[in-house]
């Protein structure tokens, strides 16, 4: 019988739900050394916390995260609340000797993230950041193909994350659901919110980025703030695009916006190597597009591989070949990998330190855009 791993989750919004589902489902589909127990959910509103706890099967709830962190009943603190809460909670949790899982971006800026890395490393607690797209089976397969050298030398990395939900000038900023538009809470705009994912995946697949040249724009300069009721300047980047040079010599373009009418969450990447190319699209997440120049000439072309077979990453744990899985499974995979590594006395990636590398790229992007020149990406301290 697997030992219990007592979980306390903070935040019962979008990510509170994906994480709760991940903790519940992981032991049903994966053979794990620990069994996650949903001990407590934390939300500031007691009614909301109570009904969330009842719906997802939590044993109890708190309205103050400090109580959750101090609770001897909890082994692992999972941070699924907005970015301005991450640093304080993660540091307190580490100091209390709890394992910490934290949503992305790790901090609102690299300084916050550095303090969080220091806290978990000096307390020697297991830690992980929810860059969940690494665990889409097709993306994991892309990593395996690259690591096996199938693409050969890599020349190009091209990636976008496009949305369209902030185009209306009437949309307010701040507060529940709209904290992403408030720079004090979010840290940055689409660079830290959307491009953080593209950057994490890119660093994982293609190695470190050395320098960037970026431009950002805030299309709507002022919006009513939900908490003050006043029209206030918008200080987040609405759109962000940058060129990058990877350490391996390849060139990249990254673009994210919330002003691409018609796109809800178009996250794509394409990688071009000497021998082969791969492409992936979140809207068709169970497919990996693959082109291999070494194929027989007359039959050479892009293959659209349906990543649903038993020899594809994670897929033998699921249904039968040919049947696809979806977005929520990336969180289930992340829980399964974390707990498997825990059983082996190891860390599962991305750790806080891995996620700090993404924050250094974000920092360079924002600096480059502000100064209108190329910026070097800080190397790990
Ligand atoms: N991995 C991903 O793909 C992904 C997707 C969405 C969001 N995120 C990240 O997850 C985090 C949460 O985003 P979301 O979309 O779930 O936001 P959300 O607005 O849907 O939910 C946030 C929740 O946190 C609660 N909260 C805020 N402050 C709190 C506090 N002090 N104590 C307890 N609860 C508090 C809110 O009431 C709300 O329930 C952010 O860091 C975001 O960047 C990651």
Q: For 195-225, write each residue's pLDDT tens digit.
A: 999 999 999 999 999 999 999 999 999 999 9
Give the pLDDT score at 380.
75
For 22-57, what is each residue's pLDDT tens digit?
999 999 999 999 999 999 999 999 999 999 999 999
- Looking from the CA of residue 81, the nearest atom of ligand 1 is 24
> How far does the centroid of ligand 1 lie from the alpha carbon of residue 154, in Å?
36
> How far does the centroid of ligand 1 lie from the alpha carbon of residue 295, in Å?
46
Give the contacts of 371 (CB within 8 A, at least 6 positions apart). none
> How far does the centroid of ligand 1 lie from the alpha carbon of residue 45, in Å?
14
> How far does the centroid of ligand 1 lie from the alpha carbon of residue 348, in Å?
22
> How far does the centroid of ligand 1 lie from the alpha carbon of residue 7, in Å?
17
Give the pLDDT score at 381.
62
> How far does the centroid of ligand 1 lie from the alpha carbon of residue 110, in Å?
19
- Looking from the CA of residue 12, the nearest atom of ligand 1 is 39
- Would you say 90 and 100 are in contact if contact means Cβ atoms under 8 Å apart? yes
> How far does the centroid of ligand 1 lie from the alpha carbon of residue 181, in Å?
13
Give the pLDDT score at 93.
98
Give the pLDDT score at 1.
79
**Smallest Cα–Cα separation from 269: which of 206, 362, 190?**
206
Give the SS3 label for residue 13.
Answer: coil
Which domains, from first to last, does the chain contain?
A: 3-131 (3.40.50.720), 133-375 (3.30.360.10)
User: Which three-class secondary structure string do you get for 187-254?
Assistant: CCCHHHHHHHHHHHHHHHHHCCEEEEEEEEECCCCEEEECCCCCEEECCCCCEEEEEEEECCCCEEEE
Residue nearest to atom 43 of ligand 1 (CA): 104
Give the pLDDT score at 242.
99
Ligand 1, pocket residues at CB < 6 Å: 10-16, 42-44, 65, 80-83, 85, 103-104, 130, 132, 177, 193
- Would you say 317 and 30 are in contact if contact means Cβ atoms under 8 Å apart? yes
Q: Which one of 10, 11, 58, 93 would you pick to mutate in the ligand 1 pocket, going by the greatest count of ligand atoms within 8 A of its CB?
A: 11
Q: Which residues of the chain have pLDDT under 50?
A: none
Give the pLDDT score at 379.
87
Residue nearest to atom 5 of ligand 1 (CA): 15
Give dist(CA 155, CA 271) in Å, integer.
8
- Looking from the CA of residue 11, the nearest atom of ligand 1 is 24
**Smallest Cα–Cα separation from 262: which of 158, 167, 192?**
167
Q: Could you say which DSSP state residue 95 is in?
A: H
Q: Could you say which DSSP state residue 379 is in?
A: P
């Amino acid at each position: 019988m697997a030992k219990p791993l007592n979980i306390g989750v903070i935040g019962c919004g979008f990510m509170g739900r994906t994480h709760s589902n991940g903790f519940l489902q992981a032991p049903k589909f994966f053979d794990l050394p620990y069994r996650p127990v949903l001990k407590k959910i934390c939300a500031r509103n007691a009614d909301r916390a109570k009904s969330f706890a009842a719906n997802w099967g939590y044993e109890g709830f708190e309205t103050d995260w400090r109580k959750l962190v101090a609770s001897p009943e909890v082994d692992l603190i999972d941070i699924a609340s907005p970015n301005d809460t991450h640093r304080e909670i993660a540091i307190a949790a580490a100091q209390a000797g709890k394992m910490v899982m934290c949503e992305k971006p790790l901090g609102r800026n690299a300084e916050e993230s550095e303090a969080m890395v220091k806290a978990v490393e000096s307390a020697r607690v297991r830690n992980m950041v929810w860059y969940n797209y690494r665990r889409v089976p097709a993306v994991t397969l892309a990593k395996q193909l690259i690591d096996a050298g199938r693409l050969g030398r890599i020349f190009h990395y091209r990636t976008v994350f496009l949305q369209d939900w902030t185009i209306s000038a009437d949309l307010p900023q701040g507060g529940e659901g709209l904290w992403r538009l408030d720079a004090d809470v979010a840290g940055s705009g689409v660079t830290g919110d959307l491009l953080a994912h593209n950057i994490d995946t890119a660093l994982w697949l293609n190695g470190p980025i050395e320098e960037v040249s970026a431009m950002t724009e805030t299309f709507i300069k002022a919006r009513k703030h939900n908490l003050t009721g006043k029209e206030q300047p918008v200080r987040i980047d609405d759109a962000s695009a940058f060129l990058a040079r990877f350490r391996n010599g390849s060139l990249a373009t990254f673009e994210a916006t919330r002003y691409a009418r018609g796109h809800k969450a178009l996250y794509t990447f394409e990688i071009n190597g000497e021998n082969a190319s791969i492409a992936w699209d979140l809207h068709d997440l169970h497919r990996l597009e693959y082109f291999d120049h070494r194929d027989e000439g007359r039959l050479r072309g892009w293959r659209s591989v349906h990543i649903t077979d038993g020899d594809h990453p994670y897929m033998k744990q699921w249904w039968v070949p040919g049947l696809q899985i979806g977005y929520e499974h990336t969180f289930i995979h992340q829980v399964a990998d974390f707990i498997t590594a825990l059983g082996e006395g190891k860390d599962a990636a991305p750790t806080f330190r891995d996620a700090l590398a993404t924050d250094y790229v974000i920092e360079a992007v924002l600096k480059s855009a502000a100064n209108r020149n190329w910026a070097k990406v800080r190397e790990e301290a």
